[in-house]
Amino acid sequence: MSYIEGFVTAVPRANKDAFRQHASGYAGLMKEFGATRQVEAWGDDVPDGKLTDFKGAVKAQPDEVVVFSWLEYPDKATRDKANEKMMNDPKMKEMGASMPFDGKRMIYGGFEPINDSGKASKAGYIDGCLIPVPAKNQDAYRELADRYAAILKEYGATRTVDAWATTCPMARSPTTRAR
């Protein structure tokens, strides 16, 4: 089964071209490490939330744009090996030193697809969301995602993907408990 590593970060609006160039170099390297696909989506319609939102999650400043991206791997083992290789690759260290954004505010995690319907092709316009779901409700969420995917495709979506987090680092703060 495929595996997805997702990322959300804030990039200064003025660094869009530098970010594209950085992402292109990163894509090539990650494909060497086993990724089958990389998608980078520049924020276009990222609304302010009532309780939480993407901007708040990455502490985006007024001059920054939220970027939503992911890597697809054939399976979790390939992703884990890629992450291991990244830590020791000098090209990754160079890229890390020249990122056109503040990587400390990036959030990321690994996700196991629970619904992947439609054809994987060149990405068009992307809507994305992060939803907290209690672990005990995974099966119910999977059923809902399947029904929702059918409706979205009826209204023009070419592909829907829902994925369950399996590895998401927790932020360490006085109000966050380690799990």
> Is position 63 within any domain?
yes
Provide the 8-state DSSP code for 103.
G
pLDDT the model gives residue 173: 33
CATH number, domain with residue 110: 3.30.70.100
- Where in the sequence is the domain holding 26, given as residue range(s)? 3-167
Which tokens is 63 given? Answer: 């001059």
> Is position 151 within any domain?
yes
pLDDT the model gives residue 125: 66
> Is position 30 within any domain?
yes
pLDDT the model gives residue 48: 94
> How far is residue 150's CA from residue 91's CA, in Å, rounded to a whole number?
42
Query: Strand 3-12 to strand 37-42: parallel, antiparallel, or no bridges (unpaired)?
Result: unpaired
How far from the centroid of its chain's Cα atoms is residue 118's Cα?
19
Which residues, listed in sequence order, are joined to residue 165 by a DSSP beta bridge? 111
Number of domains in the chain: 1
> Is position 95 within any domain?
yes
Provide the 8-state DSSP code for 122.
S
pLDDT the model gives residue 120: 67
> Is position 173 within any domain?
no
> Is position 159 within any domain?
yes
The pLDDT tens digits for 24-55 are: 988 888 999 999 989 899 999 999 999 999 99
pLDDT the model gives residue 177: 32
pLDDT the model gives residue 176: 35
> Is position 172 within any domain?
no
Q: Low-confidence residues of the chain, pLDDT below 50?
A: 171-179
> Is position 177 within any domain?
no
Provide the 8-state DSSP code for 13.
G
> How far is residue 153's CA from residue 159's CA, in Å, rounded to a whole number?
7
Which tokens is 49 given? Answer: 């939330």
